[in-house]
Amino acid sequence: MALRTRARSARLLVVVLVSVSLAVITIDYREGDRGPLAVVGDAALTIISPLQEAVSKVTHPVGNFFSTLVHLPAIRREDELLKDRIAELEQQAGTTAAELDRLHQLEELLGLQQSLGGDVRTIAADVIANGVSNFEWTIEIGEGSGAGIVVDDPVIAPAGLVGHVVRVTLNSAIVRLIVDPDSSVAGRLESSRTTGLVSGEGAQDMRMGLVETTTEVQAGEQVFTAGYKIPDFAESLYPPNVLIGVVSRVVQDSTALEKFVTVRPAVDFSSLDTVLVVLPSEGG
């Protein structure tokens, strides 16, 4: 008898909790980014981001250690080899001292900032955490509205475009990566100067849409931000001529209305340590 009562009260509890969940889903869905729930979410983020930063600092080396264990040694070795090779080619001069790494990163960011032009204000920020889900491609950075960052600010790295800011708290911000399925960037092909819309595909290479079938596209061709607005599709948040990635695959299909082009991002998002946030210009 008591058992049955308990089962009934458990069922009642579940009905209540499910109803609350559904109510929250509905409210949040209707209110969007400005509702009371978004405010609560930002508050939660403000509280947890210093913790994340601290944990990240401590566990980053530990994480690397465990990932060595998790990965098959052979893959790891090959990975290291390739990474070393890339680093070697990138640096060209050949200095690999660890103390120079940070300096090197900041120099690159400085060079990047200067390449954007003198009137653009930027701020460097450390990556403190990654998104919580396997289905959202975001990172969290350790600077927020306190440093002048607002929603929609573009974020770049020395290697290329990273994404844009979607949420800001006082001391942290969430950046949606360009590989997130919700992200679209106006891109321009290097040789043909044709523009298209580069959309994230998550773990796969990005897809460049709206490219006419007559356009000549080669695999290996670089794609840069176009930096203007495609009506009704996406207003470009990003400064022009930032490297997005490299064309990885072109599928010829004479019956299709547009060319099927995939783009591999220039930035390795798994090893991102420092990024540069482009702040809005002072005039507005």
Partner 1 sequence: MRRALSLTVVIVTALLLQTTVFADVKLLGVRPELMYLVTIVFAMLEGPSSGAVAGFAGGMAQDFLLDAPKGITALTLTLVGYAVGSLRQYIVSPSPLLPTFLVGGGTFVGVLFNRFVAFLLGQEATSVLYVFKAAALSALYNAILTPLLHPVLRRVAESSRSRRVIRW
Q: Which residues would be at the binding site for partner 1 (CB under 8 A)?
A: 2-3, 6-7, 9-10, 13-14, 17-18, 20-26, 28-29, 37, 40-41, 44-45, 48, 51-52, 55-56, 59-60, 62-64, 66-67, 70, 129-136, 138, 140, 166-167, 174, 176, 181-182, 201-204
Cβ nearer to partner 1, comparing 122 with 138: 138
Shortest spacing between CB 240 and partner 1, in angstroms: 25
Shortest spacing between CB 3 and partner 1, in angstroms: 7
Residues 6 or more apart whose Cβ sits within 8 Å of residue 247: 189, 208, 217, 218, 219, 220, 221, 222, 223, 261, 262, 263, 264
For the CA atoms of 111, 117, 119, 124, what is the dihedral angle to 10 degrees?
Answer: -30
Cβ nearer to partner 1, comparing 27 with 219: 27
**Environment class of 220 (CB within 10 Å of its CB; exposed 0-12, middle 13-18, buried 19+):** exposed
In single-letter form, the type of residue at position 235 comes to: E
Shortest spacing between CB 167 and partner 1, in angstroms: 7
Shortest spacing between CB 199 and partner 1, in angstroms: 9
Shortest spacing between CB 46 and partner 1, in angstroms: 11
Cβ nearer to partner 1, comparing 176 with 259: 176
Cβ nearer to partner 1, comparing 112 with 210: 210
Smallest Cα–Cα separation from 176: which of 149, 146, 141, 207?
141
For the CA atoms of 77, 89, 156, 192, what is the dihedral angle to 10 degrees?
Answer: -120
